[in-house]
Amino acid sequence: MTSRCPDEIVRRIRVSVSSYDPSWKGKLLETYDTHADIFQIAPACWMPDWAELASSLNELSDSEILLQCSTSPAAEPPHFVETERRIWKYMMENPDWEDTFPKYKPRVFRWTDDGKWSRHS
């Protein structure tokens, strides 16, 4: 699967957990900074028990995932279930948000001359 942005799964997790992160208070989740020409995934925190929830959700059948995890199951793209499972796998393997966002710092990427994203600290 291809994505036009770097770190797709972490970005999707960031969008999913933003409503639980008290530091965001309803802000928009801007990712591309046109002035600095960087792609930035703002830091997020999640509860450690989300790994258990992810494991539980991962046990569902594909049809159950569509029904329980989508607001419009009939309109989802073919890769919806696979993407959800990739997100859950990440959450199960990385239950501590500090592993993904050390010191609550964003994940920053720059576009390289060879047409790829490169991560910068």
The residue extents of the domains of the chain are: 8-120
Q: What is the pLDDT of residue 19?
A: 67
Q: What is the pLDDT of residue 47?
A: 85
pLDDT at 17 over 80: no
pTM: 0.83
At 91-102, the pLDDT tens digits run 999 999 999 999
Q: What is the pLDDT of residue 117?
A: 87
**What does the alpha-carbon distance between residue 33 and residue 111 come to, in Å, rounded to a whole number?**
12
- Characterize 15-39 residue by residue with b for buried, 16 or more Cβ atoms within 10 angstroms of its Cβ, and e for exposed: eebbeebeebeeeeeebeeeeeebb
